[in-house]
Structure 1
Amino acid sequence: MPVFGDPNRFAIEHELDENHGGVWMYGSFCYWCGGRRVGDYELGASLRDVLFQLEQLAKYYERLRANPRFDSMSASAVFHTLHTAFYGETDDDTFALAAEEQWRRHEVIPNVDVFDNWKGFLVESERAARLIFARAPHVEVTELALNSGEFDSILDAAISALGKIYEHEALEREIMDERKR
């Protein structure tokens, strides 16, 4: 079970099932945040789908997930502002502001079943990052201090590892398909 990062800070863990279904890559997946498992690891997931979701999150590498609007806000205020903008009822002005300032780049929990009960956001500056997350019903909000870029470097390592597995399984599938012809 590979773990990327430090589980006492931030880490990503995955494990491929013995009978993983080839390119579907069935297995288990979670984040570790401050020594706490985030996600339903035991539920299991298609690590292929996780990979694709992580690749979407990685699109924001080029630009820090920074926004001065959130710098002085409490973790709870940041969480509820972003959560409401994406998942709640919000007014047109807030919706337009979220689109203009690209708030979606702050969302860092992949949209897969193991995270159905979790939401999380990353707000960075040049020197520091705040990973802010909560489990449904999203009342108890937790903030984890990270270094700027720390989340993305761990995300990159997990994407690389899962990508290698996917490439291997896709090649195996091609070979099997060729043999059938």
Structure 2
Amino acid sequence: MLFGSRSGFAIEAYHDPLPNEHGWVFGRMCLWAQGNCLGDICEPACMLNVTVSHLSNAIARLPELDAQELHEFAGEALFNLLDHALYGDDDCSMEEIMADAQRFSRFNFLTNGGESFDHSKSFIVGNGQWLRLLFKDLKTERIHAVAVEYATFVAVIQAFLSWFSTEQASPLLAPSERT
């Protein structure tokens, strides 16, 4: 299933109906932003519940993501600032590390957001009616910085979450077996 447009913003997801006792939904997924892919759609049997939690949290904290002091940064510079502040291995004191985490952790997006995103780091920063998605493919080291309209971002994620709820209601049935 494709929710949205790959050339704008989209989530691509497929349910792999693996039997389980917990109501978990397994499948494959990735996000698309201006034709750039975040995640690995070929990674099989990912527990989509983890990513759903991350996306739901992103929607809930959208009002906290607009940081005027970050508007001036170009994409790669902003990615590097956030990456260093949150994941940098330097000689910072514990107090400095905690201060950076307090200040910047709200901008984490899908880093550790499920198996599909194991080979990437990603951040999301607001800028008025736009969201800046910043992500790095850790295999190629390429950094992507794209703007997504706020309303489009919310609509696509809500459509995906609705689909997920339907899939979760019948996790043992393949999509072709549903009526």
| Residue 31 of structure 1: how far off its partner (Å) | 0.7
Number of aligned pairs? 166
Alignment CA distance shift 1:146-1:139 (3 Å): same
CA distance in 2, matches of 1:151, 1:32: 11
Superposed, which structure 2 residues align to 1:6-155 within 5 Å? Answer: 6-17=5-16, 19-22=17-20, 23-44=23-44, 45-61=46-62, 63-90=63-90, 91-92=92-93, 94-101=96-103, 103-109=104-110, 111-136=113-138, 139-155=141-157
| Residue 108 of structure 1: how far off its partner (Å) | 1.7
Return structure 1 stretches of 4+ with deviation > 4 angstroms.
none
Cα-to-partner distance string for 1:132-173 (whole Å, 9 max, x where unaligned) = 11111674321112223432332222122212322x148x9x
Name the SS for the 1:49 alignment partner: helix
Name the SS for the 1:66 alignment partner: coil
Superposed, which structure 2 residues align to 1:160-179 within 5 Å? Answer: 160-166=162-168, 168-169=169-170
Q: Which runs of 5+ in 1 are unaligned?
A: 173-181
| Contact 2:86 2:101 (C-alpha < 8 Å) held by counterparts | no
Measured on the aligned residues, the alpha-carbon RMSD in Å equals 2.5
Match of 2:161 in 1: 159
TM-score, scaled relative to structure 2: 0.79
Give 1:57's aligned amino acid: A
Q: Which runs of 5+ in 2 are unaligned?
A: 174-179
Tell me which of the two structures has the higher relative contact order, counting C-alpha pairs closer than 8 angstroms and 6 or more residues apart. Answer: 2
Alignment CA distance shift 1:94-1:137 (3 Å): farther
